[in-house]
Structure 1
Amino acid sequence: MIPVLYGSMNAFGTYDNKDFDMQKWLVTTTFVFCTLASWLSMAADAPFTHKEYMTEMRDGVKLAMSVYTPEGEGPWSVVLMRTPYNKANAERRARRYLNAGYIFAIQDCRGRYLSEGAYVPFEDDMEDGYDTVEWLAEQPFCTGKIGMTGDSAPGITANLAAAAAPPHLHAAFVGVAPRSLFYESRFIGGVFKESHAGGWMRGQGVADQIPGMKKRVVMDDHWKATDLIHHREKIKIPIYNVGGWYDIFSHGSIHNFKYLQ
């Protein structure tokens, strides 16, 4: 809720005192109401436990993962997010799933933050997504049913995990993620997209990878290995797609939905 100040202005361009007093009352009341609502919401949150794991991938590299578990007997189904944006401070996000009776697990992608390995955006996310889903399914706290979620880059990692077809991945909720990294992010119209891919990669600290990427301007076997349009037939789970009308991946989200029908 956003408090809005209003009142009638007098001939000198200032607000009348009675209007100003009303504004102060409205702002104060709104602030108190929002604070109380926040406290009540926190009070309603169920207790949980938080543990850190280093999960080993098929090549021996270990990836850092936070697991938030509801209090009680279990086992529970798991909602997983894999992110290059830092898994730390995920408690607020975790609570929506904890309160609904799910475990929430969030993992740093390979080479990011607390995870081992070299970071090459999205190149290992099919295999790492598969291995992480299956690792979770084997844990005593898990029912064996895993769902994935994420928006933008974490949404892309969810799509790629789905393309790897881990047996225990049952569904995904994906926001603002393209169908094709090549055609809808990196080389829109056949030209490397500096404002999208270039700026994002610099922000991710991998600007040194851009020159090599610019040399591969056609869809070769390297790009095909991690581009969703070449793995559609492997996806067997339902994926709920959400797009933003003015998002950079607005077309990609629609194409992703149509492509998976």
Structure 2
Amino acid sequence: MSGNDQRSALRSRMSVLALGLAAVMLAAICTAILTAPAAPASAQTAEIKRMFDVRTPMRDGVELSADVWMPAEGGPFPTIIIRTPYLKTMVMGDFSLAGWATYFAERGYAVAIQDTRGRGDSDGEFDFFFQEGEDGYDTIEWMATQPWSNGDVCTAGVSYLGTDQWLAAREHPPSLRCMVATAAAGRWMHELPYYGGAWMMAWSLDWINGTSGRNMQTNTAGMDMESVYWHRPLITQDDVMGRDMPLFNDFLENSTMNEYWERLHFTEEDFRGLDLPVLHVTGWFDGDQPGAMFYWDGMMAHSPAADRQYMLAGPWGHAETFIGGTLTLGDMEFEPHALVDNEAEHLAFFDHYLKGTADSYDQPRARIYVVGAEEWREFDRYPPADVQATSLYLSSGGNANSIVGDGALSWSPPADDSPPDEFTFDPTRPVPASAGTTFLGEDRTPLHRRDDVLVYTSEEMDEAVEIVGRVVIEFHAATDARDTDFVASIMDVYPDGRAVNLGPNIGVVRARYRHGFDREELLTPGEVARYEIDLGHIGHSFEPGHRIRIDLTSSAYPAIAPNQNTGNPVATDTEWNTANQIIFHSLEYPSRIVLPIRARRRATE
């Protein structure tokens, strides 16, 4: 079958997925800030005063627009600021940012929700996060001097609205007292707009298009996204989609961790300069978990306020980190106590660190929910002190291809050399990122029928195995290509056969970045190389009767642009090559998944 025929055959099967994955992160980001439950009438404690289109001057003369809520009587008030590129006026059903702001205004706070530069009612030109440090500083300090503010400010928000808090804090605004940073992006090249060095095609097209202009750009209904995804070179995909997107081009042209991205990257020195209490919120299925954990690690290791850092992590996707959770995700179901009252969580933190009316913030250093055990755990540090890195080794008889192959996982290293596993990666026939419309918590079994997917499964657990922390696959591989991708997932295999995907993303490593994102090093065809795939942080218990599974392949379409296996510059490449992949698991070249195990318990315990 020709490449064109293969792509045509994919279209019917992938149409929903193509649109779904392209939109999932933007939709989650937008809806997350719109779906906080409104305060019940019985909880209202004050009449509210509102001020719309409050013009806030920036240092370069540009004015940004904010809407402000506060109690109608009294003052001045401690002030909460949210800064959003998704429009301060957006409404979804009965929920809105205005409802969220009203909740806190009823409880004695002034709340300012501002359109970021170039978005909504604000002047200037939007430029991703690059302007948010200075604009955030100027906004905080201007708001703090208003007669309705008492000069004490805390920031809040999810996703982009979390990241812009960190960038503002790095500028050290004197009036900033604390932050609640939820699902904040921060690991460039391994979160946005690349993941493991691989180009996040669907997200980049959809998110950048959606934020082009002052209002949300949503007129893509009926668009043949498949034809856009398959267009090469990638650098002109935006034109095929119908819009010149300078950010899209800039992102593609800056494909290493260079000066362009270093403007956003936090260093150890940056964290040492942040003496602020922070509530860090993320989820085990949150696509921006890499950034959230990066900020957590940096503050705990270097900040003088390490003793005032707090983590809340639940069984949540990106949106759910802000709205308080969900009872279902993909093919998973959670207990009702997995939900939290998001507004109450914020209020308890603000009342102590911003308003000062609460004597303490009575929460442990880390509260995390363990899926499978369906229980909340409290720790005085994260990762927990009792975690032990434990290896689960890959093995096979040389035929781990598909679910009917002989791939296995064992707690013991290989006793002797076992034959490697091989598959052919054809980038014109990629493995879908999802068997349906989202890879989060979904059953990946339908994808395991393909011969270009290697499947390794453990024996049934005779005791529960609880993991809490970062999961990594370390493996040895060879290819006949100058560059290629390796893609991996970890799953909980239920007794009924479902293989439910765990973690915030499909794990990816682009071979040219195997030694770091600051440089590109092409492969020597046929040479064995060592790789790591970061599967993110996971809090999960593999219960008795369940099994652990990983899959290894080379694509996750359309979330990741298929590697064309040429070694050419990604942005301008128009050639396509197949790659013959070899995965080793021998004494000389072992491959393993490293699990952060903290407990094992029998079914009767």
For the criterion TM > 0.5, the same-fold answer is yes
2:222 aligned with 1:221: no
Question: Which residue number in structure 2 is paired with residue 65 of structure 1?
Answer: 66
2:83 aligned with 1:82: yes
Question: Which residue number in structure 1 is paired with residue 206 of structure 2?
Answer: 199
Please list, as runs of the form range in 1=range in 2, the aligned pairs for 1:71-220 lying within 5 A after superposition. 71-88=72-89, 90-205=97-212, 207-220=245-258
Question: Which residue number in structure 2 is paired with residue 33 of structure 1?
Answer: none
Distance (Å, rounded) in 2 between the aligned partners of 1:126 and 1:209 = 18
TM-superposed deviation, 1:254: 2.1
Distance (Å, rounded) in 2 between the aligned partners of 1:141 and 1:40 = 26
Question: Which residue number in structure 2 is paired with residue 4 of structure 1?
Answer: none
Q: Does the C-alpha gap of structure 1 residues 224 and 72 become closer, same or farther in structure 2, counting only changes over 3 Å?
A: same
TM-superposed deviation, 1:90: 3.1
Question: Which residue number in structure 1 is paired with residue 46 of structure 2?
Answer: 46
Contact 1:110 1:117 in 2 (8 A): yes
Task: Specify every segment of 5 or more residues in structure 2 that has no aligned partner in the other structure, as ranges.
Answer: 1-37, 90-95, 214-244, 301-605
Q: Does the C-alpha gap of structure 1 residues 90 and 249 become closer, same or farther in structure 2, counting only changes over 3 Å?
A: closer
TM-superposed deviation, 1:126: 0.1
Distance (Å, rounded) in 1 between the aligned partners of 2:141 and 2:99 = 25
In structure 2, give the amino acid aligned to 1:46. Answer: A
281, 294, 297: which one aligns with 1:255: 294
Contact 1:165 1:236 in 2 (8 A): no
Q: Does the C-alpha gap of structure 1 residues 216 and 140 become closer, same or farther in structure 2, counting only changes over 3 Å?
A: same
Q: Does the C-alpha gap of structure 1 residues 208 and 259 become closer, same or farther in structure 2, counting only changes over 3 Å?
A: same
TM-superposed deviation, 1:243: 0.4
Distance (Å, rounded) in 2 between the aligned partners of 1:121 and 1:200 = 11
In structure 1, give the amino acid aligned to 2:261. Answer: W
Aligned-pair identity in percent equals: 29
Larger fraction in strand:
2
In structure 2, give the amino acid aligned to 1:242. Answer: V
In structure 2, give the amino acid aligned to 1:167. Answer: P
Give SS of 2:192's match.
helix
In structure 1, give the amino acid aligned to 2:296. Answer: F
- Deviant stretches of 4+, over 4 Å: none
Contact 2:48 2:106 in 1 (8 A): no
Task: Write the deviation string for residues 18-56 of structure 1: whole angstroms up to 9, x where unpaired.
Answer: xxxxxxxxxxxxxxxxxxxx8962783521111131111
TM-superposed deviation, 1:129: 0.2
In structure 2, give the amino acid aligned to 1:220. Answer: N
239, 245, 248: which one aligns with 2:284: 245
Give SS of 2:162's match.
helix
Q: Does the C-alpha gap of structure 1 residues 233 and 196 become closer, same or farther in structure 2, counting only changes over 3 Å?
A: farther
Distance (Å, rounded) in 1 between the aligned partners of 2:265 and 2:272 = 13
TM-score of the aligned structures, taking structure 1 as reference length: 0.79
In structure 1, give the amino acid aligned to 2:254. Answer: R
Distance (Å, rounded) in 2 between the aligned partners of 1:182 and 1:150 = 23
Larger fraction in helix:
1
Distance (Å, rounded) in 1 between the aligned partners of 2:261 and 2:211 = 19
Contact 1:179 1:229 in 2 (8 A): no
Contact 1:150 1:175 in 2 (8 A): yes
In structure 1, give the amino acid aligned to 2:139. Answer: T
Task: Write the deviation string for residues 224-254 of structure 1: whole angstroms up to 9, x where unpaired.
Answer: 1122347333322122110021111123322
Task: Write the deviation string for residues 101-134 of structure 1: whole angstroms up to 9, x where unpaired.
Answer: 1111010000001000001111100000000000
In structure 2, give the amino acid aligned to 1:86. Answer: L
In structure 2, give the amino acid aligned to 1:185. Answer: L
Distance (Å, rounded) in 2 between the aligned partners of 1:225 and 1:255 = 16
In structure 1, give the amino acid aligned to 2:195. Answer: I
State the aligned residue count: 224
Distance (Å, rounded) in 2 between the aligned partners of 1:217 and 1:72 = 53
Task: Write the deviation string for residues 61-104 of structure 1: whole angstroms up to 9, x where unpaired.
Answer: 00001111112221110000000010115320112211221111
Q: Does the C-alpha gap of structure 1 residues 70 and 239 become closer, same or farther in structure 2, counting only changes over 3 Å?
A: same
In structure 1, give the amino acid aligned to 2:295. Answer: N
Give SS of 1:245's match.
strand
In structure 1, give the amino acid aligned to 2:116. Answer: C
TM-superposed deviation, 1:179: 2.9
Q: Does the C-alpha gap of structure 1 residues 234 and 174 become closer, same or farther in structure 2, counting only changes over 3 Å?
A: same
Q: Does the C-alpha gap of structure 1 residues 233 and 187 become closer, same or farther in structure 2, counting only changes over 3 Å?
A: farther
Give SS of 2:154's match.
strand
In structure 2, give the amino acid aligned to 1:56. Answer: P
Distance (Å, rounded) in 2 between the aligned partners of 1:40 and 1:57 = 37
Larger radius of gyration: 2
Distance (Å, rounded) in 1 between the aligned partners of 2:153 and 2:100 = 17
Give SS of 1:171's match.
strand
Distance (Å, rounded) in 2 between the aligned partners of 1:182 and 1:39 = 39
Q: Which moved more, 1:213-222 or 1:126-135?
A: 213-222
Give SS of 1:59's match.
coil
In structure 1, give the amino acid aligned to 2:272. Answer: E
Q: Which moved more, 1:218-227 or 1:58-67?
A: 218-227
